[in-house]
């Protein structure tokens, strides 16, 4: 037998869901309190909440890409739920106020990040390092050569000025 609930009951439940979304995750016992207050079974409320969040995601009012969870939190949720059974995952997600679609989206994001990560070959890195060291050595040698040439030019200029001061200009005789 299907029970019908009034529009006022549903609106009260949706207002409570909005507050929960604004505050972050659902505090322990919030859904039980709401269930008692509205005289609606808790499973029905969870179903409504999932539908409510799906509707928000569909309308663009709730974007799983701009979640309140940090990347570290998302990674932790994925790690935590990876070894759980489907029933345990459902319980975990309800407890933390996360949609199954959000979890799947996060998993796909992480897989994409791992798949698109550049493949690094140690041999290539070793060759690049050897090349950059050789280039650095060549540049240091060139710099020493140029410093010596500059010092020699400066010394010749100083000597030329001293010679002019002692003997005068070349055409003064």
What pLDDT digit, counting tens, does each position of 88-125 carry?
A: 998 998 888 788 888 888 898 888 888 877 777 888 88
Total domains in the fold of the chain: 3
Judge if 74 and 110 occupy the same domain.
yes
Residue 1 lies in a domain: no
Please state the rounded mean pLDDT for residues 146-150: 97
How confident is the prediction for the chain on average, in pLDDT? 82
Same domain, 130 and 159: yes
**Distances, alpha carbon 9 to alpha carbons 31, 48, 69, in Å:** 14, 11, 30
At 62, is the pLDDT very low, low, confident or very high (cuts 50, 70, 90)? low
Residue 71 and residue 38 share a domain: no
Residue 148 lies in a domain: yes
pLDDT recorded at residue 35? 78
Q: Which residue has the higher pLDDT, 58 or 74?
A: 74
In a domain, 158, yes or no: yes
* 69 and 31 within one domain: no
Structural domain of 138: 121-168
**Could you give the CA distance from residue 98 to residue 111 in angstroms, rounded to a whole number?**
19
CB 97 within 8 A of CB 26: yes
Indicate whether 70 belongs to any domain. Answer: yes
Angle in degrees, CA 59, 63, 68, rounded to 5:
140
CB of 45 closer than 8 Å to CB of 9:
no
How far is 64 from 103, CA to CA, in rounded Å? 9
Q: Are 73 and 99 in a shared domain? A: yes
Find the helix or strand (DSSP H, E) in which 163 lies: helix 122-167
Is residue 161, in this structure, part of any structural domain at all? yes
156 and 111 belong to one structural domain = no
**Are 109 and 76 members of one domain?**
yes
Looking at the structure, do residues 70 and 27 belong to the same domain, yes or no? no
pLDDT: is 74 or 10 the higher one? 74
- Give a yes or no: residue 95 inside a domain: yes
Please indicate, yes or no, if residue 13 is contained in any of the structural domains. Answer: yes
71 and 83 within one domain: yes
Q: Are residues 13 and 57 in the same domain?
A: yes
């Amino acid at each position: 037998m299907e029970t019908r609930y009034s529009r006022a009951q549903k609106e009260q439940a949706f207002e409570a869901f909005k507050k929960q979304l604004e505050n972050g995750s659902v505090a322990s016992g919030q859904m039980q309190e709401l269930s008692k207050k509205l005289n609606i079974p808790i499973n029905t409320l969870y179903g409504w909440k999932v539908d409510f969040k799906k509707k928000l995601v569909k309308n663009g009012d709730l974007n799983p890409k701009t979640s309140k969870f940090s990347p570290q939190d998302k990674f932790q949720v994925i790690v935590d739920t990876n070894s759980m059974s489907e029933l345990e995952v459902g319980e975990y997600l309800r407890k933390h106020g996360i949609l199954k679609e959000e979890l799947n989206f996060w998993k796909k994001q992480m897989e994409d990040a791992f798949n698109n990560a550049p493949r690094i070959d140690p041999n290539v890195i070793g060759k690049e390092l050897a090349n950059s060291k050789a280039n650095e050595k060549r540049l240091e040698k060139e710099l020493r050569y140029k410093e010596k040439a500059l010092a020699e030019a400066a010394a010749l200029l100083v000597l030329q000025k001293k010679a002019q001061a002692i003997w005068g200009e070349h055409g003064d005789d």
